[in-house]
Amino acid sequence: MHTHAFADGIARHALDSLMSHMAAEYFTKFDGRLSTLVSQLRAHGFDRAVLCQIATKPEHFVPIMAWSKAILAGEFGEDAARMIIPLPSVHPADPERHARLAEVARCGFKGVKLHPYFQHFTLDSPDMLDYFRAVADAGLFAEVHCGYDAGFPFEEICGPRRVARVIGEVPSLRFMVTHLGGWQDWDEAARILIGQPIDIEMSMTVGMCEPSLLRDMLMRHPGDRIYFGSDWPWSDHAKILPFLAGCGLPQSRMEALMGGNAERWLGIAGGAS
Ligand SMILES: [Zn+2]
Query: What CATH number is attached to the domain comprising 126?
Result: 3.20.20.140
| 119 in any annotated domain | yes
Question: How far is Cα of residue 184 from the mean position of the Cα atoms in its chain?
Answer: 16
Give residue 18's identity as a one-letter amino acid code: L
The Å distance, Cα 181 to ligand 1 centre, comes to 13
Report pLDDT for 270. Answer: 65
| 11 in any annotated domain | no
3-state secondary structure of 45: coil
- Cβ proximity of 267 and 237 under 8 Å: no
The Å distance, Cα 48 to ligand 1 centre, comes to 16
| 12 in any annotated domain | no
The Å distance, Cα 75 to ligand 1 centre, comes to 24
The Å distance, Cα 54 to ligand 1 centre, comes to 9
| 260 in any annotated domain | yes
| 8 in any annotated domain | no
Of residues 236, 184, 194, the one with CA closest to residue 215 = 194
Provide the domain count of the chain.
1
The Å distance, Cα 240 to ligand 1 centre, comes to 15
The Å distance, Cα 51 to ligand 1 centre, comes to 9
The Å distance, Cα 53 to ligand 1 centre, comes to 8
Structural domain that includes position 261: 18-266
Question: How far is Cα of residue 65 from the mean position of the Cα atoms in its chain?
Answer: 17
| 4 in any annotated domain | no
The Å distance, Cα 231 to ligand 1 centre, comes to 5
Span 80-110, pLDDT tens digits: 999 999 999 999 999 999 999 999 999 999 9
Tell me what percent of the residues of the chain surpass a pLDDT of 70.
99
The Å distance, Cα 78 to ligand 1 centre, comes to 24
List the strands of the sheet with 226-227, edge to edge. 111-114, 141-144, 174-177, 199-201, 226-227
Report pLDDT for 273. Answer: 44
The Å distance, Cα 3 to ligand 1 centre, comes to 6
The Å distance, Cα 264 to ligand 1 centre, comes to 21
The Å distance, Cα 205 to ligand 1 centre, comes to 12
pTM for this entry = 0.95
Give ion ligand 1 contacts, CB < 5 A.
Answer: 231
Dihedral of the alpha carbons of 43, 50, 158, 125, in degrees to the nearest 10: 170
Report pLDDT for 149. Answer: 93
| 7 in any annotated domain | no
The Å distance, Cα 52 to ligand 1 centre, comes to 7
Tell me which residues of the chain have a pLDDT lower than 70.
Answer: 270-273
